[in-house]
Structure 1
């Protein structure tokens, strides 16, 4: 039986399951038989939006419920970027529901393995994000000019790839002010923690896909470059398949065809 794919979108300004639309179109051009599941994470898209801090467990619970209701056997989890901890938590919580893991553009190993204080996340939420400062910041961050600049500097290898489809998707997704709570939960770090034990102990097949121009998001001297990141993942996950394709940090959108081809060849 062909395993369904559960596509876990990243969390960010305007992001939702629509992140996967270009990937899904490319997939359908090649294969119409495999079921592709692309749910909205809590606080994103059409999912409920409430003013509260959202944890990884909060994001995982509806995914588990959906898979158990589907009752179609285990799925291949496909995570994008920093949604990897959501995938790892789902595997830990419901190992019977997952047959394989694909992680596309995962964060650097330092980010994945560093402990993160819940108290610090709560302080960031309370001081910066839950009040007027957070509201003003979100109004600024969802402006088209900012979305374009941020995408060109941090997400895409080629500035011209930041096209109308990408920008309109982010604008529409960030239009509801309540969509800021998921974004602020991510920025505060409620997803952070030492995920190294869960990742290194996986017994299921794992595919890691990096863009050849992969970088950290934002500015930091501590972030590794693509070659260093790939070398670290190879040493930490010797049984995983690690592949590179053209692009930077949003491969399912920027390099949809290459991304689909890579996943399909691995799944065969």
Structure 2
């Protein structure tokens, strides 16, 4: 195996990690703020792809599909949190059962509305080319994915670290009861974070639909990967989500390229090891 093989696999792993960051960062924040395991999070990824396809089929615009799909699924997530999760209170078992029920409901609705066929989201021609960097021919679309994830990650970091709302979110992650005691509206914070998580997952579904495709079952394929990102990085940590996504993306790509027979082991073994050594994740708070 020559150097080009390792460089290309690393690039592919980083670009896949960029996609996983979009899915995992929202789940990490939901996990950190609301302390619930949202098993419908993969559904937002799938539905984002399907809504984007509908926008593209209707208007022919891939660029329009990005914000429309993300905002539509954000509103769906907001309604789900306000109308169903919030009235349940803070009972984790009920919330888990409700979200897994929604996951199956969304999957069946997608099957009924968009059929069981496999679809691909075709990006604009400008992003469908390859570029030559140091003798390596790299797909421009994957470079776009990395740039998009980096830009969103930077925007989220600035929002969390430099704004009053971000401080309220961090306080809620650290200690929701204490945050309520000093006058922070944790109910509003939870609503905003849940909508943001759905927004990011749907955006990932639109971007990922170009090389993963959009098909029934994709939601349950992405969900374990998103949880692996959260478990490795630590809940409620954007930096942890970035590191976790990068680790999962590289492990998945190199595992499939080098050890296809045991690729699942190479993907989930690091997660199990980190759980054994540091149950809260690399950047999780004790």
TM-score scaled by length of structure 2: 0.24
Structure possessing the higher radius of gyration over alpha carbons: 2
Task: Name the structure where helix makes up a greater proportion of residues.
Answer: 2
TM-score scaled by length of structure 1: 0.25
Flag the structure with more relative contact order, 1 or 2, with Cα contacts below 8 A and sequence separation at least 6.
2
Task: Name the structure where strand makes up a greater proportion of residues.
Answer: 1
